[in-house]
Structures are given as C-alpha cells and as structure tokens.
C-alpha cells in the first residue's frame, strides 16, 4: 500500500439539489462553463490533479499546500464576480475544505484520514468560503 503526504482540496456546490430541481439544464450548463472557463484551468495553473468529479463536487490533490490554497482563493474570488448578476437563490457558490495529510494511493484514487478531514472541512465551510485545517493554516501563515 503506497502512502504519501498531500494537500487535499474537497469542494461542493452549495444547494446543488435545489438548483437542479429549479433548472436542471441551466444548472448543468453553468456548472460546465465554470469548470471549463475557470475551475479546471485554475487547478492546472496551480499544479493540482482532479482525483474525483462527483457531479457537484471535486476532490483535488496538490503537492503543495500553498498551491491548494491559492487555487481555492482564485476560484472563490472569481466565482463571486461570475455569479454577481444571479439572483441569490440561483447563485452558484462552492464550499471548500483543505487539509494537509497522509493519503493512501489506490490506483488513480486517494483514500484515508487526510481525505476524510478535507471533506469534513468542506462540509462546515460557509458558502463561497474556504475552511482549512490547523496544519494548513500553520503551513501558509505569513506566506
């Protein structure tokens, strides 16, 4: 079993089910546009690897915690601008959690507590926000 230390970013679209119920095709089209124009290019610029895409969520691995945080900030700031004209209940926003931890490699997948903690942090992040573990905070403080 291969293990390594990695920065793990978990993200999820806020209110995905509600948005899909209100306008399935429009929500899918907007999500695809955000991915193609903003999210995927930002991940590539910051040297991340998309491990899983789960409809409204992403699991991304970075070799650098600074790259993970910079990517998250870039995307969240751009989303505020991109969605500023949408009505509040139609606005697409993401929650992001970032952890630095030990992961288990399973083919192209990653598993383990490091991943689980990133997912828990994402769940408690505010819409449009980024929640980081203490180890991430300590790693980026002052940089």
pLDDT category at 88 given cuts 50, 70, 90 is confident
Q: For residue 64, what are the domain limits?
A: 2-140
The CATH number that applies at residue 58 is: 3.30.70.1230
Please count the structural domains in the chain.
Answer: 1
Identify which has the larger pLDDT, 46 or 22.
46
In contact, 6 and 114? CB cutoff 8 Å: yes
Question: Tell me: the pLDDT tens digits for 90-127?
Answer: 889 999 999 999 999 999 999 999 999 999 999 999 99
**Whole-prediction pTM value?**
0.94
Gap between the Cα atoms of 41 and 129, Å rounded: 20
Q: If you average pLDDT over residues 71-90, what whole number do you get?
A: 90
């Amino acid at each position: 079993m291969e293990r390594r230390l990695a920065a793990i970013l978990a993200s999820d679209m806020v209110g995905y089910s509600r948005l899909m119920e209100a306008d399935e095709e429009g929500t899918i089209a907007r999500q695809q546009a955000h991915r193609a124009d903003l999210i995927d290019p930002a991940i590539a610029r910051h040297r991340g690897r998309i491990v899983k895409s789960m409809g409204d969520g992403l699991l991304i691995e970075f070799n650098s915690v600074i790259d993970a945080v910079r990517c998250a900030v870039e995307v969240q700031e751009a989303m505020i601008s991109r969605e500023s004209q949408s009505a509040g209940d139609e606005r697409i926003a993401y929650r992001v959690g970032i952890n630095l931890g030990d992961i288990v490699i399973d083919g192209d997948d990653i598993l383990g507590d490091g991943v689980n903690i990133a997912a828990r942090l994402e769940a408690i992040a505010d819409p449009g926000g980024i929640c980081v573990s203490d180890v991430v905070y300590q790693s980026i403080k002052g940089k």
